[in-house]
Amino acid sequence: MATASKPRVKLPKTAQSGEVIVIKTLISHDMESGQRKDKDGNLIPRQIINSFTCMFNGQPVFSCDIDPAVSANPYFEFNAKVTESGTFAFTWVDDNGSVYTDEETIEIS
């Protein structure tokens, strides 16, 4: 992989109880599909982020499996309804078993 994988997450720091918020995530990752060849004609091994999950205070909010057709640096945007203060935990897993995580907190007023 040419670049180090780095997750980025954007969500509000505060919200009203019951408010629906927008969560945006992006992870820098080359997402090698396994279908390209190197300069010597050898297949470059597949190396992609293959799953993503978001949990809030230990409860699932969003998850998906990712296929090789997804471009490099996968971006996800989704909504979540928040009723209490807490922590969102984000996890990306790639083909070699590497796990990338990030956490963001939100305060409910």
* Residuewise pLDDT in 10s, the chain (109 residues): 445 678 999 999 999 999 999 999 999 987 888 888 899 999 888 888 999 999 999 999 999 998 877 888 999 999 999 999 999 999 999 998 999 999 999 999 8
DSSP-derived letter for residue 29 is -
* pTM for this entry: 0.87
- Give me 16's structure tokens: 């009203």
Domains by residue range for the chain, with CATH = 6-108 (2.60.40.10)
**Mean of all residue pLDDT scores within the chain:** 91
Report d(CA 89, CA 61) in Å as an integer.
Answer: 10
Distance CA 53, CA 62 (A): 6
DSSP string, 2-15: -S--EEEEE--SEE
Contacts of 81 (CB under 8 A, 6+ apart): 18, 19, 20, 21
